[in-house]
Amino acid sequence: MAKILIVEDENKIARFVELELKYEGYEVEIAGDGRQGFEKAMHEDIDLVILDIMLPGLSGIEVCRRVRQEGKQVPIIMLTAKDDVTDKVAGLDMGADDYMTKPFAIEELLARIRVALNRHSNVGTKTEILQYGKLVINLSSHTVTYDKEEITLTKKEFQLLEYLLKNKNIAMTREQLLNNVWDYEYLGDTNVVDVYVRYLRQKIDDKY
C-alpha cells in the first residue's frame, strides 16, 4: 500500500488523519513543520504528501515549490484553513495536485487521495500527441509548444489545456471543467476556472 506523508503542525488533525489512513491500509509518516516535511518528501520513499499551507519553518506553498523545483513529482494535496481562491491558486501554481479547505470530511480526503495516486500511477503510460494548428501538447513529456517554441505551463494549466484540446469545438461549462480537471464535484467559487483560462490566454493567445 502507498506511503503517505502528512505535513501538519496541528497535532490533533495530524493524528486523526494518520489513524484514518492507517485504517485504510496506508503507511504514514508525519512531519510537524515545513522544513522537516520538505526533507522527508525529498529523501524518503513517499507516494503522496498531504501538506498544510500554514506551517512553521517553511510555508506549505514554499515546501511545494521546492519539491517541484527539485524535480520530484510526488502527488501533493494542499490543506488550507482559509476558503480563499488566492491561496488555492498559489498552491496549484506551485505544482500541487489538489487542495482541501479545513474543516474537511475524511471520506472526501480519502477519495482525493485515491484519485491522485491513480493519476500518478498512470504517468508515463501516455504517448499521445494533441495538436491544434501550431499548438502541440506532448502528454508523455508534459511539454507544450507553439510553432515549435516551448511554452512553460504549471501542472494545472497543462491539465486544463489538455482537457480543452481533447474536447475542442465543444462548449464546456465551468462546472464541467471543475469536475474533470480538478477531479471532484466542486461546490464553491467557480472563479478558479476563469483564473486559469486567463493564465492560458496570457501565455498562448496574447503571446501569439
pLDDT per position as a tens digit, 178-203:
888 876 555 556 688 889 999 999 98
Q: Write out the DSSP string of 134-153.
A: TEEEETTTTEEEETTEEE--
C-alpha distance from residue 198 to each of 15, 78, 158, 195 (Å): 39, 23, 13, 5
Of the pLDDT bands very low, low, confident and very high (cuts 50, 70, 90), residue 134 is: confident
Query: CA–CA separation, 17 vs 6, rounded Å?
Result: 8
Q: Which cell is 8 given?
A: 501538519
Contact 9, 81 (CB under 8 A): no
Q: Count of CB atoms within 10 A of residue 80's CB?
A: 20
Query: CA–CA separation, 136 vs 148, rounded Å?
Result: 8
- Name all contacts of 159-162 with Cβ < 8 Å and 24+ positions apart: 160/196, 160/197, 160/200, 161/137, 161/200, 161/204, 162/130, 162/137
Residue bearing the bigger pLDDT, 123 or 86:
86
Contact 117, 48 (CB under 8 A): yes
User: What does pTM read for this prediction?
Assistant: 0.62
Of the pLDDT bands very low, low, confident and very high (cuts 50, 70, 90), residue 19 is: very high
Check whether 157 has a pLDDT greater than 80.
yes
Check whether 126 has a pLDDT greater than 70.
no
